[in-house]
């Protein structure tokens, strides 16, 4: 097939000229000779691409807009009605956390252990924020008693199991696991600082972190220096 | 637990992982059209064998505290049919964390490569090795020529950061002055709403192309770059922009600074043509030719090499945590709305492999961005030169101008398109 307007030969199956969108001819110049329709034999060069509209992105973006708008509205209502008690902040923290979950855990491309690690850190921040907003020290703080220890216990357990299941590649998870376990002192420290009524879950979770550190160091002792080297190389 | 290899990113490759976002990655494509339909089973075998020769491409991207690094990836790479979406974002998770993607469609094999890993030359070497083992697996005659195989020993040089090797202390200001150039004429137009770029490839006879370039007393690269800028000038002449037309031409530094590196080792030469000069090809050729000659001077190249090594040579930048560096790189990229180049024009040159008629031609496609929405890539093999425009805009007026002029100059041009514009629905 040829486009006489552009003066080029079209090398793939086409209904019109890709350059000028004009009609195609069977020959480069007008002729009376019969030419069989070439478009039936010419190759399809590329698959007809199915363009995805990136739905996951759209959901995350739509949620983000929803989050910003509702937060602003609630803060305004809050300030006009009862500025002493900032209940809208609780909404902001929780709704913001949900955004983090959608964007950085559900549709993220990072490794499983990196996503769990991120969740643990963000959970800690959310818990501490909620605790400051929701209740003062000395009270019966259920989020500190349950949520914080469970976060560390579960995330360390999940990364640990994941590392064992992919034992050949376990060294790649070692640094995240160790850092997470070092942060594992947070439950017990906050339990004592906030002086919560039930302390054993925090103590148990922090003790578990300690055990995981010891086990990781024993199992991965030959790889630790190497791992640290590549993590901190400049 | 297995002991794994890991690799540093080279000085030029370092920037690419920092500016990865959900919608942009620095990918490019090299590929080949064979004489026969591609057999995916042989291709899978070929890829796995080739990866044994290129352990530094069998990697995944990892975040360190100060910089990214490449960590050995023991998973098995996928070889799938191409879905027709040109240079689609690599979903690392779906791609088993590899930084390249090998696909096929009909008679074509496509290798999409992340720029952090290597430049076009490195990717092309890898593709040649894949082809070597593909033909070997098929029991076809083995291609000859300069191909890296398992029997050619791996040199230490292949993973060297050549920027480091040729780094020489230079004044920061002088380098910055050279690199931070003014803005350029920008190709504007309605852009595709979703992923996938438009592609229009023209196939021409290399001898005739060379003859045409000779008639203007210049190289093929200069000739095509001048013609591309002229096409922009003609197609977009009515634009009110006052900036000059600027072509960024990647320079393969291996030619001037001997190195066997398979990582990035290219730099850009900036060739500009004044906004209001005569719309004649001779004039465009002379501007591009002189600018390129000026920038291929050794001192000039050395200065740029040293400036590219800034991340390595500056203590302050080296010891800044990665997340801060990434943040500022991204902000810097997002803040500027103007472009420094009208078009990137990259010529990989002629591919040195001898497989006779079993290979029809090689192909090469560049990435495009919102600010540089039309780019041009050139590669030749066996007297066939593939000239590919990738674009992010719907209009094809520049390509039309280019190929209709080219067909008048060199005779028959065979054009194919992926008709991306048919798909765009917003
Ligand atoms: Zn046409």
- Block residue for tokens 């890993």: B117
User: Looking at this predicted complex, what is its ipTM?
Assistant: 0.88
- Contact between chains at B416 and A11 (C-beta distance less than 8 A): yes
Q: Tell me, what's the pLDDT at A37?
A: 59
The angle subtended at Cα B3 by Cα A233 and Cα B9, nearest 5°, is 35
The reply to whether B390 touches chain A by the CB within 8 Å rule is no
Interface test with B, best of A1, A49, A56 (most B CBs within 10 A): A49
- pLDDT score, position B257: 92
Query: Does any domain span residue A116?
Result: no
Using a 10 angstrom Cβ sphere, with 0-12 exposed, 13-18 middle and 19 or more buried, the burial of residue A155 is buried
Contact A47 B81 (CB under 8 A): yes
Q: What distance in angstroms lies between residue B233's CA and the mean position of ligand 1's atoms? A: 19
- Which has the higher per-residue pLDDT, B201 or B239? B201
Residue A40 has pLDDT above 60, yes or no: no
Sheet strand arrangement including B359-365: B79-81, B100-105, B108-114, B27-34, B359-365
pLDDT in tens, A120-155: 999 999 998 888 877 665 565 788 888 999 999 999
Same domain, A155 and A214: yes
Interchain contact, A19 vs B399, CB within 8 Å: yes
Please indicate, yes or no, if residue A159 is contained in any of the structural domains: yes
The CA distance from A13 to A164, in Å, is 53
- Cα of A3 vs centre of ligand 1, distance in Å, is 5
Q: Is B382 on the interface with A (CB under 8 A)?
A: no
B426 has a pLDDT exceeding 60? no
Quote the ligand 1 centre to B90 CA distance (angstroms): 33
Examine the domain organization and report whether A183 and A80 are in the same domain.
no
Of A9, A54, A233, the CB nearest to B415: A9
Task: Please give the distance of CA B337 from its chain centroid, rounded to a whole number.
Answer: 23
CB contact (8 A) between residue A18 and residue B84: no
Inter-chain contact A19–B2, Cβ cutoff 8 Å? no
Query: What is the pLDDT, as a whole number, of residue B186?
Result: 94
Contacts of A12 in chain B (CB under 8 A): 416-417
Contacting residues for B420 by C-beta, under 8 A, at least 6 apart: A49, B86, B192, B196, B197, B198, B199
Find the farthest-apart pair of alpha carbons in chain B and give their distance in angstroms, rounded: 67
Place of tokens 């480091």: B164
DSSP A134-192: H--TTS--HIIIIIHHHHHHHHHHHHHHHHHHTGGGTHHHHHHHHHHHHHTTHHHHHHH
In the predicted model, what is the mean pLDDT of residues B108-114? Answer: 96
CB-CB under 8 Å, B318 with A19: no
Q: What share of chain B is helix, strand, coil (3-state, %, to 5)?
A: 35, 25, 40
- For residue B1, what pLDDT band results from cuts at 50, 70 and 90? low
Same domain, A49 and A25: no
Distance (angstroms) between ligand 1 centre and the Cα of B414 equals: 12
Mean pLDDT throughout A186-199?
88
Q: Which domain holds residue A30?
A: 1-35
Q: Answer whether B69 sits within 8 Å of A233, measured CB to CB.
A: yes
Instruction: Using pLDDT thresholds of 50, 70 and 90, give the confidence band for residue A61.
Output: confident
Chain B residues touching A10 at Cβ < 8 A: 414-416
What's the mean pLDDT in B393-420?
94
Pick among 3.30.70.100, 3.40.980.10, 3.40.50.880, 3.30.559.10: CATH of B6-148: 3.30.559.10
Range with the poorest average pLDDT among A129-143, B16-30, B142-156? A129-143
Task: Answer yes or no: is pLDDT of A39 > 60.
Answer: no
Percent of the residues in chain B that have a pLDDT greater than 70, as a whole number: 96
Chain B residues within 8 A of A171 when measuring between CB atoms:
1-2, 4
Please state the length of chain B: 426
Q: What is the mean pLDDT of residues B174-200?
A: 84
Mean pLDDT in residue range A61-85: 90
The pLDDT, as a whole number, for residue B67 is 92
By the CB criterion, residues less than 5 angstroms from ion ligand 1 are: A 3, 5-6, 17, 19-20, 22
Q: What is the pLDDT of residue A189?
A: 93
Q: Which residues of A touch B413 (CB under 8 A)?
A: 7-9
Do A50 and A72 share a structural domain?
Answer: yes
Q: Read off the pLDDT band of B37 (50, 70, 90).
A: very high
pLDDT for A143 equals: 82
Summarize pLDDT for B155-171 with one digit per residue, the tens. 888 988 888 888 877 66
- Please tell me the predicted confidence (pLDDT) of residue A124: 94
Nearest to B108 by CA among B76, B77, B86: B86
Mean pLDDT of A203-208: 95
Range of weakest confidence among A44-58, B60-74, B166-180, B240-254: B166-180
| Mean pLDDT for the stretch of residues B104-130 | 95
pLDDT at position A136 = 60
Q: How close is the Cα of A2 to the center of ligand 1, in Å?
A: 8
Are A203 and A189 spatial neighbours (Cβ–Cβ below 8 Å)? Answer: no
| H or E stretch covering B69 | strand B68-72
B216 or A234, higher pLDDT: B216
| Same domain for A228 and A187 | yes
**A63 belongs to a structural domain:** yes
For the segment A27-52, the average pLDDT, to the nearest whole number, is 72
**Over chain A, what is the mean pLDDT?**
86
Share of chain B above pLDDT 90, in %: 67
Q: Are residues A214 and A131 in the same domain?
A: yes
Do A223 and A187 sit in the same domain of this protein?
yes
The stretch B73-96 carries a mean pLDDT of: 92
Split into its structural domains, chain A has a count of: 3
- Residue B36 gets which letter from DSSP? S
pTM: 0.90
Q: Is B81 on the interface with A (CB under 8 A)?
A: yes
CATH class, range B165-424: alpha beta
Q: Rounded to a whole number, what is the distance in Å from the CA of B85 to chain A's nearest CA?
A: 5
Strand A2-3 with B27-34, pairing: unpaired
The domain segmentation of chain B, as residue ranges, is 6-148, 165-424
Are A105 and A154 members of one domain?
A: no
Average pLDDT for chain B: 91
Question: Does B415 reach chain A within 8 Å, measured CB to CB?
Answer: yes
Q: What is the mean pLDDT of residues A169-192?
A: 90
Rounded to a whole number of angstroms, the distance from the CA of B331 to the nearest CA of chain A is 19
Cα A176 to the center of its chain, rounded Å = 16
Average pLDDT estimate for B321-327? 90
Note the helical H segments in chain A.
55-81, 88-100, 112-134, 142, 148-165, 171-183, 186-193, 200-219, 221-231
Topology alike, domains B6-148 and B165-424: yes
**Cβ-based burial of B41 (10 A; exposed 0-12, middle 13-18, buried ≥19):** exposed
> Are B3 and A45 a contacting pair at CB < 8 A?
no
Sheet holding B343-350, edge to edge: A2-3, A8-10, B414-417, B198-205, B384-391, B374-381, B343-350, B245-252, B266-273
Residue A120 located in a structural domain: no
Asked whether the beta carbons of B284 and B355 are under 8 A apart, the reply is no
């Amino acid at each position: 097939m040829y486009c006489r307007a552009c003066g080029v030969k079209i090398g793939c199956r086409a209904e019109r000229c890709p350059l000028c969108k004009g009609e195609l001819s069977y020959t480069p110049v007008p002729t009376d000779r019969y030419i069989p329709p070439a478009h039936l034999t010419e190759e399809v060069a590329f698959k007809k691409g199915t363009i995805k509209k990136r739905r996951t992105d759209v959901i995350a973006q739509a949620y983000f807009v929803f989050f910003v708008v509702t937060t602003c509205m609630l803060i305004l209502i809050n300030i006009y009605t009862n500025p002493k008690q900032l209940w809208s902040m609780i909404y902001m923290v929780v709704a913001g956390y949900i955004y983090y979950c959608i964007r950085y855990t559900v549709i993220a491309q990072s490794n499983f252990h990196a996503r769990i690690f991120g969740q643990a850190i963000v959970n800690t921040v959310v818990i501490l924020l909620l605790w400051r907003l929701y209740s003062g020290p000395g009270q019966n703080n259920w989020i500190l008693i349950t949520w914080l220890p469970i976060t560390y216990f579960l995330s360390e357990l999940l990364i640990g199991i994941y590392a064992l299941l992919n034992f050949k590649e376990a060294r790649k998870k070692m640094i995240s696991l160790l850092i997470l376990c070092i942060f594992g002192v947070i439950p017990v420290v906050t339990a004592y600082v906030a002086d919560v009524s039930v302390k054993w879950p925090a103590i148990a979770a922090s003790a578990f972190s300690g055990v995981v550190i010891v086990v990781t160091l024993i199992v991965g002792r030959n790889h630790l220096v190497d791992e640290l080297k590549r993590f901190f190389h400049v | 637990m297995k002991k794994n290899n890991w690799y540093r990113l080279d000085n030029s490759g370092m920037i690419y992982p920092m500016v990865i976002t959900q919608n942009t990655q620095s990918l490019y494509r090299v590929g080949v059209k064979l004489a026969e339909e591609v057999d995916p089973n042989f291709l899978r075998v070929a890829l796995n064998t080739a990866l044994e020769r290129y352990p530094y491409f069998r990697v995944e991207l990892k975040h360190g505290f100060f910089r990214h690094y490449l960590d050995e990836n023991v998973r098995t790479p996928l070889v799938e049919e191409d879905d027709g979406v040109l240079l689609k974002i690599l979903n690392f998770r779906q791609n088993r964390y590899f930084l390249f993607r090998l696909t096929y469609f009909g008679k074509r094999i496509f290798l999409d490569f992340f720029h952090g890993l290597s430049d076009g030359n490195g990717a092309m070497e890898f593709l040649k090795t894949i082809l070597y083992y593909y033909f070997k697996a098929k029991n076809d005659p083995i291609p000859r020529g300069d191909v890296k195989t398992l029997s050619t020993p791996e040199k230490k040089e292949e993973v060297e950061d050549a920027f480091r090797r040729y780094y020489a202390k230079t004044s920061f200001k002088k380098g910055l002055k050279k690199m931070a150039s003014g803005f350029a004429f920008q190709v504007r137009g309605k852009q595709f709403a979703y992923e996938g770029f438009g592609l229009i490839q023209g196939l021409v006879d290399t001898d005739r192309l060379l003859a045409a370039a000779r008639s203007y007393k210049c190289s093929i690269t200069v000739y095509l770059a001048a013609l591309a800028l002229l096409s922009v000038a003609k197609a977009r002449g009515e634009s009110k922009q006052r900036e000059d037309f600027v072509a960024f031409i990647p320079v393969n530094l291996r030619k001037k600074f001997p190195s066997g590196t398979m990582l990035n080792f290219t730099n850009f030469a900036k060739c500009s043509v004044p906004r209001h000069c005569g719309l004649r090809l001779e004039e465009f050729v002379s501007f591009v030719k002189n600018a390129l000659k000026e920038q291929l001077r050794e001192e000039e190249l050395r200065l740029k090499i040293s400036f590219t090594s800034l991340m390595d040579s500056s203590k302050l930048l080296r010891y800044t945590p990665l997340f801060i560096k990434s943040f500022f790189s991204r902000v810097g990229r997002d803040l500027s709305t103007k472009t420094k180049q009208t078009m990137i024009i990259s010529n990989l040159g002629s591919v040195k492999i001898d497989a006779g008629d079993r290979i029809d031609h090689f192909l090469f496609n560049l990435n495009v961005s919102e600010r540089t929405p039309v780019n041009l890539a050139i590669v030749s093999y066996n007297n066939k030169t593939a000239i590919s425009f990738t674009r992010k805009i719907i209009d094809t007026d520049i390509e039309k101008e280019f190929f209709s002029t080219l067909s008048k100059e060199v005779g028959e041009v065979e054009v194919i398109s992926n008709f991306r514009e048919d798909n765009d629905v917003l």
